[in-house]
Amino acid sequence: MGKLKGMVNITGKEVTIRTAKAAGSVILGNEAFKALKRGTSPKGDVLATAKVAAIQAVKATAAMIPMCHPILVESIEVDFLMDEARKSVGVTVAVRSSGKTGVEMEALCGVAAACLTIYDMLKYTGKDMIIDQIRLVEKTGGRSGDYKRPD
C-alpha cells in the first residue's frame, strides 16, 4: 500500500481564472419521471432541492475529498434537462474561481450531490433508478491548460 503524501503544494502556482463543467444524469424510469413532471414528490420540489444540494456540495468539496484544497468559489450554475425518451434528467454544474488550483472536483461533487438528491426524493416510486455517467465536460485555466471532452 502506498504512503500518504498529503496535499499538493500550490504555493508557486499563479492565480488564474479557473472554470469547470461536469455533467451526469439519473435514469428515472416511467414512474419517477411522471412524478418529477407532475411535481408530486412528498419531499417537495425535486429539482429546486437538487440545485441547493449541488451548490452546497460544491462549497463543501474540500471537506468531502481528503486532498482537495479549500477554494473561494465565485460562481456556480446548475442546470437540468428532462429527457422524455430516456425517462431521465440530465444535470450540469459549472463552477468558476480565481485561484491557484482547479475546480474540477467541485463541479463533479455538485453533479453527484444533485443526482443523489434526485434519487432520494423519487425513490418512493421505485429503487431501480440509475445514476449515470458523471464526468468532467470541460475545464479552463491552470498549468495543465484547457480540456474539453471529445464526445
Of the candidates 45, 83, 120, 128, the residue annotated as catalytic is 120
Q: Is residue 120 annotated as a catalytic residue, yes or no?
A: yes
Closest by CA to 92, choosing from 21, 19, 18, 20, is: 21
CA angle centred on 23, ends 21 and 26, rounded to 5°: 160
DSSP 5: -
The CA distance from 139 to 17, in Å, is: 11
**3-state class of 141 per DSSP?**
coil
Catalytic positions? 120
